[in-house]
Structure formats: structure tokens, C-alpha cells
Amino acid sequence: MYSNTMPRLFHHSLIFEYQLFPPKLRLLFLAHLLRGMTNQVVGLFIPVFLFTQGVKLEIFQRFQFWESLGFIQQGVFFVALFFLITRLAVVISTFPLVRFMRKIGLAKSMVLGNVLLICSYYLLQLSELQQWFFVPSAICLGIGIPLYWISYYTEFSLHSYLGKIGQQVGGLYFLDKLLHAMLPLLGGSIVAFLGYDALFLFGIGFMLISSILLALMHDIHFSYKVSFQELRTWIAQPKYQHAFLGSMGKILEELAWLLWPLYLFLFLGSEQKVGYFSTIVLILSLATSYFMGWYLGKHRGRRMLMLSGTILSLLWLVRTLLVSVWAFLFVDVVDKLVNSVYAPVFDSLLLGFARGKKVFRFFVYREFLLGLLQIVFWLLLALLFMVPFAWKVVFVMGGVGMLFSLQIRKTIDDER
């Protein structure tokens, strides 16, 4: 049960208060914040790094089709190839890993997921010397995804107090933005002055600290089994169809976001400018997250999700028309502000839905289906950049994905 006597973080008044860090989630929150910080420093620039590697790739030089591609097509093809291999690893490994995860527990699974991310960073670092290392790097990244994220969502869902889950998730978003506001600028500066080797080493250091915190957590073991037969049964039920469609729509929008730093890099011309841009956006949108975490604790319903999701979808369509840095900045700031409403609502509904005996299995099946969707996405992306309006299609897909994510509300309605 969530204690009312627990010390409050950011307790400025009786109205604006957060009841964060329940005892069983403190280490998980801190470890996840560190992983998120790593993503802001390193993960933000991985698509840019892959693009720059793809432009000077030698392993495809013998193929005539490669010579016929422009440098943007070559770079994007390599980005798509890397993440295609990653998602193939996710789909192939998810079900076999479940038995292993049940045996070692959730905390150790997250530690192993972090270790594989460290290996992926290190292999990417080595790929500058030997280009084939990007293959094992993508595989390590892919195997680590179900190990970490299935365990993380399960742990969060198990220990969050349902009545406060909107505030807990909203508060985590606020802390994430507060700690991360300057990190894109830091990442861009590291690349500009020290290179990608230093950037990957920085990320490895953060991930080691995160892994130590996770190793101190109490482990949870499950006896639940998963199967393709049960997955087919779940997909046949409307409430699960809506849940999975909502998750798949959300991930489609996140894939568009994954490519957004690359678009900014091509437009602005350097990693450092991408870092400046991202930091300015985060700082300008930071204050809203505090208020939204409190507000969403009391208003977690349909209207907030529908309104914010619709606006975010429209912003993706607006991006197809932008031609100036100031327009990009304005749209990104508005996006972050609205996302401060949307993201905690979506996550709290998702976590609320997955509670109970189905919690672990739900996230296993969700990760598997998201992997299948992303395989299709990266295959299409590799072909898409053969046409001149490819970026507009990516942004439209992000908007469509956001609209599909709103399907999750129907599941919650049914459950209640």
C-alpha cells in the first residue's frame, strides 16, 4: 500500500505535491532515470552515427545498386539495416528468453539487459575500425530489449499504487526532463570535440551505475508460461486487440521520433547543433511537466488522452510543411508540452490494464508484436527513401501511429 507518511519530493504546496518513490520502486526509478540519461546523451545520436557510417560504408561497394544511391539513401539504408537486425533479434529471442527470465528473476533480467546495451555501445565503438561489428551490436541491442523492458514494465505495474499511478508516472517524466535537459547539448558537444568514442564510453559509465542499482533490487520470479497459442487467443479478444493496437500505434510514433534527430542533423548540419536544439526544446517545455503530474493524478481519463493525442498527431502533419529552424523549434516545444499530458496518461492506462495475473504475459506478447511491427517499418523505410518525399511519409506515419495509440482507451473502458 502506498504510505501517506512518505517524504514528498518537490513538495512546494498542499496542491502541487508528488508522492513519489514507493519503497519497492525507489531503486527502479533511479536506475531507469540513469538509463534515460544515457539515452539522451548517446541514444539520441545513434541514428546520426549510423548514418555517417553508412555514407562511408565499404562492405556494399561491390554491389552496383549501392553506387547508384545518393549519400542520404546510403546513410538511411544503413540505419534501417541496423534496426532491422535489432528487431529480428527481439522477435527471435523474446519467447526463448521468457523461461530464462522466470528462472533468474526480473531484477537480474534488467541487469542483463543493461549489460547487453553496454556491449552494443562498445561494439558500435569498434565498428569504426571494423564495420562488420555493427551486426553483433544490433543483435546485443535486440536481445537486451525484451530482457529489460518486459521486466521494467512488469515491475512498475506490480508495485505502483493504482490510485496514484498517474502521479507516479507523471513525476517520473518530470524528473526525467529535469535531469536530462542539458544532456542533448552535452552529447552533441562530446561528439564535436572528442568524437563518438568518448560518447559511447560516457554511456557505458552511466549504464554501469544503473546496473549496480538494479542488482540491489529484490528479485521477483514468475511461474506463468507463455505460448503462441495463448497469444492467438488474446488477439482474438477485442479488449486485447485495442490494447495491442494502442501499443503498436505508440511505437510507430516513437519510430518517427527516433529518426527526428537524423532529420535535424541533415537540416542543421552538425551533431552539436542537434544537441543545442534538443536542449532548448527540453528547457522550454520543462515547467509544464510538474503541473501535469499533479493534474493527471486526478484527471486520467478519456478526454485528456483523446485531446492530447489528436494534437500530437496533427503536429506530425505540420512537420511535413516546415522549412525553418524557428518553425521546428516552435513545433517541438508544443509537442513536448502536449506530450507532458499524453505520455503519463497513456502509460498509466497501459500499466493499469496490465495488472493482475496477466501482467508478465501481457508485456511478453506486447514486446513480440511490437518487434514484428518494427521489422515491417524498417523494411519499408529502406525502400521508402528511394522516393524524394520520404521524410513526409515518415512524419505522416508518426501522426497515424499517434491516432492508433488512442485505441488503448477502449480497452480501459471495457475493463472498468
Dist CA 407 CA 252 (whole Å): 14
CA-to-CA separations, 415 to 240, 242, 258, in angstroms, rounded: 10, 12, 32
Query: Which tens digits make up the pLDDT trace of 172-207?
Result: 556 666 666 677 888 888 888 888 999 999 999 999
Dist CA 119 CA 89 (whole Å): 15
**Alpha helices per DSSP H over 160-237:** 165-180, 183-193, 196-215, 228-235
What angle in degrees, to the nearest 10, is found between the helix axes of 228-235 and 238-268?
90
- Angle, alpha carbons 58-79-330 (nearest 5°): 135
Residue 21 has pLDDT above 90, yes or no: no
Residue 253 has pLDDT above 50, yes or no: yes
Percent of the chain with pLDDT over 70: 79
Query: Which tens digits make up the pLDDT trace of 359-390?
Result: 888 899 999 999 999 999 998 888 887 777 78
Query: Which tens digits make up the pLDDT trace of 62-95?
Result: 666 766 677 788 888 889 999 999 999 999 999 9
Provide the pLDDT for residue 161. 59
Judge contact between 266 and 72, C-beta under 8 A.
yes
Dist CA 188 CA 194 (whole Å): 10
Provide the pLDDT for residue 175. 61
Q: Which three cell numbers stand for residue 246?
A: 494502442
Dist CA 295 CA 297 (whole Å): 5
Q: CATH homologous superfamily of domain 26-415? A: MFS general substrate transporter like domains (1.20.1250.20)
Dist CA 413 CA 306 (whole Å): 13
Q: Is the sign of the CA dihedral 132, 133, 135, 138 positive or negative? A: negative
